[in-house]
Amino acid sequence: MENIHSKLDTVNWEYFREEMHNNGFAIIPNLLTDEQCEEIKNNYTNADLYRKTVVMERYRFGLGEYKYFNYPLPTLIQSIRTNIYAQLAPIANAWFKVLNIDRIFPETHLELLQQCHESNQLKATVLILKYGKGGYNTLHQDLYGDVYFPIQTVLFLNDPDQDFTGGEFVLTQQTPRAQSKAIVLKPKKGDMLAFTTNFRPVKGSRGYYRANMKHGVSEIHSGERHTLGIIFHDALS
């Protein structure tokens, strides 16, 4: 845990906030070591850690598989989820303020979870995703109930172009009365990407407007791709 805490202490959070405000996403490079990435991947077969497995093809979500973690979360993942939330909450509150949305997110993640539980959202939403050749994830938004947090993160557990090819992370931004904008990202092993769950504010000529966004994964051409998704609100089921 000291490794994670020390790395988070060295992050240029001012630059991170600017990237989030300007683009709706930001990358923290090398948050996880190779050893930590391998440990998370190696635990993919440990059934005791997970509450639910989803075969994506069955629901037309794409081609691949993901597993939701059970509570209590592994210590490393719990530490990241708790500490990153504290940096993201002020960003989320700034977004909602400029969009005139009457909602203030609490300072601590524990308080957010308490709000989830009051709405009967009790299930962990942290998940690990696995894709093989031909795998992909359709464009979507991760909303699990009335209580939600508008930013989430994903940690990349494989080396692109070494462990797999293809499999880029894709964001789309819908602009009112215009065509959607596609953003293609290729983070490295150990990087953490923070991005909007469903929308972000964009400044126009008449003030800020809400730009809806979705995310997905392009087709994997070869190899195997794993990611760890950290969603901050809990789910109904």
What span, in angstroms and rounded, lies between the C-alpha atoms of 217 and 14?
28
The candidate with the shortest Cα–Cα distance to 112, out of 91, 82, 141, is: 82
pLDDT in the model for residue 205: 86
pLDDT, tens only, 52-78: 999 999 999 999 999 999 999 999 999
Range 107-133 average pLDDT: 97
pLDDT in the model for residue 45: 96
Q: Spell out the domain ranges in the chain.
A: 2-230
Range 209-226 average pLDDT: 97
> 4 or 120: which carries more pLDDT confidence?
120
The 3-class SS string of the chain reads CHHHHHHHHCCCHHHHHHHHHHHCEEEECCCCCHHHHHHHHHHHHCHHHEEEEEEHHHHCCEECEEEEECCCCCHHHHHHHHHHHHHHHHHHHHHHHHCCCCCCCCCCHHHHHHHHHHCCCCECCCEEEEECCCCEEEEECCCCCCCCCCEEEEEECCCECCCEEECCEEEEEECCCCCCEEEEECCCCCCEEEEECCEEEEEECCEEEEEEEEEEECCEEEECEEEEEECCCCECC
In single-letter form, the type of residue at position 32 comes to L
pLDDT, tens only, 154-177: 999 999 999 999 999 999 999 777
**CATH of the domain spanning 2-230:** 2.60.120.620
**pLDDT at residue 1 is higher than 70:** no
Tokens read off for 137: 């994830």
pLDDT in the model for residue 2: 63
Sign of the CA dihedral with 48 first, then 217, 177, and 93 last:
positive
pLDDT in the model for residue 175: 79
What span, in angstroms and rounded, lies between the C-alpha atoms of 190 and 227?
10
Range 187-192 average pLDDT: 98
Range 30-58 average pLDDT: 97
Task: Specify the pTM.
Answer: 0.96
